[in-house]
Structure 1
Amino acid sequence: VTLDKVNNRLMVAAPGNSRYDIYQLNEEGLAVRSHADYSVGRPLIGRGFAHAPLGTNETNFPGQATFDSVNQRLFVSDSSDLQAQRGARIMVFDLSPESLAGLERNELPETIATLGQPDTDTWDLGVGPAKIGGSGTGLVDEERQLLFFSDGGNSRVLVWDIDPERLETGMDAMAVIGQPDFYSREARTGRGGLIRPSSLAFDPERKQLFVMDGNRVMVFDVSDQSLDRVSGIEAFAVIGQPDFESYEPPRSLRKIHNGPISLDYEYDRLVIGSFTKNRVLMFDVSPAKLEGASDPDAIAVLGQPNFESTDPAISQTRLTMTRVTVDTDRQMAYVPDGYPAGNRINIFDIHPDRMQQTLTPMISQIGHVNPEGETNFLARSANDRITPRGWTQGRDVTVDTVDHRLIMSDNYSHRVMIFKLDRMNRLLDRGASWVFGQKDPASTVLMPGRDATTIKLPLAVEYDESHKRLFVADSWNNRVLV
């Protein structure tokens, strides 16, 4: 997720549909409409993820992007890990309202430049001042017109000068962080090393770059004087470890965990999402605490009732598989929890005077409305298309040939569906007659807790005809139900 602070737009990655969606916001930072107005990389209406030929207007698996509000440019990390088409590049699009308004129906924006590769038709992985080693996260310093990019495949962060007068396809980066030169790629600890950098956050006032590096967050001075060194830049602080050489796993659930980060530089709070812990943690990174090594406790959590809970659930106060972007000016946090969670962008008021330490409720959401047009905080299926006759991800089936039933695990909908068969074990009705894990065959909620009726992300199913028992692999609850 990234923001256009000039034209009040929210841009959301939809990698499952190989595109970025653009939503219009109002002056309060809330969505004007529940649907996107434009898309980048693929049309708004069309098939889901699919590989496209390399070129200037289609994306394959777009990752975290960053937006330059000054010059209205979107920088998108586009990649693929499939062996048949493995590669990465940084695509740059002009998304000014005037440029988008000039497009025909279903016409896609064209790139104005490509970084990390020599041209628009190449995305081989590599190392050097003009190559990248895989997907990463971009971050724009709008004042100085710099792009920071976490090149995790090469254990480094690259810095490009993206001034419109100098930006061009295949250009060299101006500086490297985490390596002694542009051609080194060894993972290393220490003040000047990085292991696997991923998400980035930036303090534009103090010119400090926060780099999520696995089990730690490294903080670098990226002032002009520091970047003049080109390489060999050392961190002045590390969060989550007792010293710069350590790389130990977190000691408790209240500590730093690997995940997407954002920064509230008004109130000095580092905000960290989590795909596996189903929450967003906040840490105090005020200047007095940000020197040398520290391993602080989180001061607040979104999406869970306490710091120890990691239970996946969907509601107005609960989150699953989170990422996060903070709008410091409005004191808003935009928290997507996508597939296979809520298919929504959750919006929180995070002003210190208004948020709670735990279970702060969302003030709004993009993704689901009820028939009356009101926000539906419990809905979660993509396009609200779950019915007794339809599903999104059937993962496994088993047949009861004695009582003539077809049993299927609907992984994405957190349920097991049972269909009636005739005496020849042919389908009698395309709608499920029974369902486990939901109150009825048309429901697909993801509620808190774990009990004898709860199923979360079921995988394999197996039926024992002799004893009429069904075995269900309940993956998110780490158990097998019988």
Structure 2
Amino acid sequence: MNSGSSSSSTGFTTGQEASAVIGQNNLTTGVSNNDGSGTAGGFSLSTIGDDCNSGTGPKGTPLFSNGKLFVPDTGNCRTLVFNSVPTSNYPTASFVIGQTNGTSWSNTVSASVSTGPVDIATDGTKLLISDQTANRVLVYNTFPTASNASANVVIGQTNTTNTASNSTSRSTFRQHKGGLAVAGGKVLVSDYDRCGVLIWNSIPTADGANADLVLGQANFTNTGGMLSLEGCLTSRGVWTDGTKLLVVDSLYHKVFVWNTFPTSTGQAADLVLGSDDLDTYPAISGSGNNLLNGPTYVTSDGTRIFVTDSGNNRVLIWNSWPTVSGAAADVVLGQSSFSGTSANTTATGLKNPQGIALIDSKQLIVTDTGNYRYLIYNAK
């Protein structure tokens, strides 16, 4: 079904309004670091801003686990933690991860300070946070319960004070811009500048552990893209349930789809969304119901697929797992129809969304980067 409205099993409908907002005091405000009055300024457990990373809005994938909601406040170098999914606008977080408290910030990299948190993931016991500015992923062996918690392990660096980049090996990232998933005991991390995704077969227990596989490249030292299903140029968002796998390629406007989890380095995807061309891999961007323009993140419940189509200021939803490349989406959020692409600061609009999370198939949280907010959509 590609009518632009949801079926009874979808739960979300084209152009529907968000139910609540995090980081702003209403659904028509979109300023940096607002203090609840609709004007810039203020730094608290309720604000979303860019005091630490100027000009950087929130990015990446929130997480709901163990009864708590974790949302990256990327520009403020911290992750906000709520004791439940908020039901009203401008909620106050219980504590933060990545800073000593909720009213100040530091950008000095350490085990307790994150300088650009983007994605949050878990295996149910350990918590992982990707820290793009420090080019690393932090591993907490138990869920933090208060501010100023220290990570136990770092992936991508040899210790928790290093911030090196532009290194291509089994244990380092050239440039991690986000893209983190944990499922089936495995850890997947996108390495944007390498043009690939590194895979660890288990959550590392020591700093700087070697990855076991890489996708998008033939080996661990190659960089640059390959014009085929074996390669992606600018990998960003990653989702897996341990069997199926989705990887977003932002520059070439694609989402790679594996129907079964890859078992070898450089293994080709089964199909792509955003194009029906499997081999020549053209850099075609567009709107409509089957083209993408700079997509960044993806999530799924194993059946439906949700993609932040950032350049078109929208989220596309496929109601069923695609069986052919270039399959058309069924639902669009952020626009009233598939032809709309404008940025808006409303209850139905989005501005450069760069993150998405699905909660129990009943709620969708969208990281509305350009509006410095998170929108919560309730299933119909």
Shorter-chain TM-score category?
0.7 to 0.9
State the aligned residue count: 322
**Counterparts of 1:323-334 in structure 2 under 5 Å?**
323-329=296-302, 331-334=303-306
Matched with 1:194 is 173
Matches of 1:154 and 1:31, distance apart in 2: 36
Matched with 2:276 is 305
Matched with 1:360 is 327
Matched with 2:235 is 259
**Counterparts of 1:307-386 in structure 2 under 5 Å?**
307=278, 308-329=281-302, 331-338=303-310, 340-341=311-312, 343-351=313-321, 355-369=322-336, 376-382=337-343
Contact kept? 1:78, 1:88, Cα under 8 Å? yes
Displacement of 1:334 in angstroms is 0.5
Alignment TM-score, normalising by the size of structure 2: 0.75
Contact kept? 1:68, 1:142, Cα under 8 Å? no
Equivalent of 1:155 in 124, 127, 135: 135
Contact kept? 2:28, 2:345, Cα under 8 Å? no
Q: Deviations over 1:281-326 (max 9, x none)?
A: 2246635x23xxx223332111223142322211122221213323
**Counterparts of 1:13-412 in structure 2 under 5 Å?**
28-31=9-12, 34-51=16-33, 52-60=41-49, 61-79=57-75, 88-96=77-85, 100-101=86-87, 103=88, 106=89, 108-132=90-114, 134-141=115-122, 143-144=124-125, 146-161=126-141, 163=143, 166-187=144-165, 188-205=167-184, 207-214=185-192, 215-223=195-203, 226-227=204-205, 229=206, 231-244=207-220, 246-254=221-229, 255-265=231-241, 267-269=243-245, 271-283=246-258, 286=261, 289-290=263-264, 294-307=265-278, 308-329=281-302, 331-338=303-310, 340-341=311-312, 343-351=313-321, 355-369=322-336, 376-382=337-343
RMSD over aligned CA atoms reads 2.9
Matches of 2:161 and 2:122, distance apart in 1: 25
Matched with 1:18 is none
Distance 1:39 1:232, change over 3 A: same
Q: Deviations over 1:251-281 (max 9, x none)?
A: 3254122232223436432x22233222222
Distance 1:176 1:283, change over 3 A: same
Matches of 1:282 and 1:118, distance apart in 2: 40
Matches of 1:204 and 1:113, distance apart in 2: 26
Distance 1:195 1:322, change over 3 A: same
Distance 1:45 1:358, change over 3 A: same
Contact kept? 2:332, 2:338, Cα under 8 Å? yes
Question: Given residue 150 of structure 1, which amino acid in structure 2 is its aligned partner?
Answer: S
User: Any stretches of 5+ residues in structure 2 without a counterpart?
Assistant: 1-5, 34-40, 50-56, 347-351, 353-380
Which structure's CA Rg is the greater one? 1
Distance 1:263 1:359, change over 3 A: same
Secondary structure of 2:81's counterpart equals: strand
Contact kept? 2:290, 2:329, Cα under 8 Å? yes
Displacement of 1:59 in angstroms is 0.2
Matches of 2:242 and 2:149, distance apart in 1: 34
Displacement of 1:162 in angstroms is 5.1
Contact kept? 1:113, 1:169, Cα under 8 Å? yes
Matches of 1:275 and 1:192, distance apart in 2: 24
User: Any stretches of 5+ residues in structure 1 without a counterpart?
Assistant: 1-24, 80-86, 370-375, 386-411, 413-482
Alignment TM-score, normalising by the size of structure 1: 0.60
Displacement of 1:41 in angstroms is 0.4
Matches of 1:379 and 1:253, distance apart in 2: 30
Larger relative CO (CA 8 A, sep 6+): 1 or 2? 2
Q: Which runs of 4+ in 1 moved over 4 A?
A: none
Displacement of 1:209 in angstroms is 0.5
Matches of 2:103 and 2:305, distance apart in 1: 37
Identity %: 17
Matches of 2:249 and 2:181, distance apart in 1: 19
Q: Per residue, is there more strand in 1 or in 2? A: 1
Question: Given residue 360 of structure 1, which amino acid in structure 2 is its aligned partner?
Answer: A
Matches of 2:121 and 2:107, distance apart in 1: 23
Displacement of 1:161 in angstroms is 4.2
Matches of 1:115 and 1:88, distance apart in 2: 9
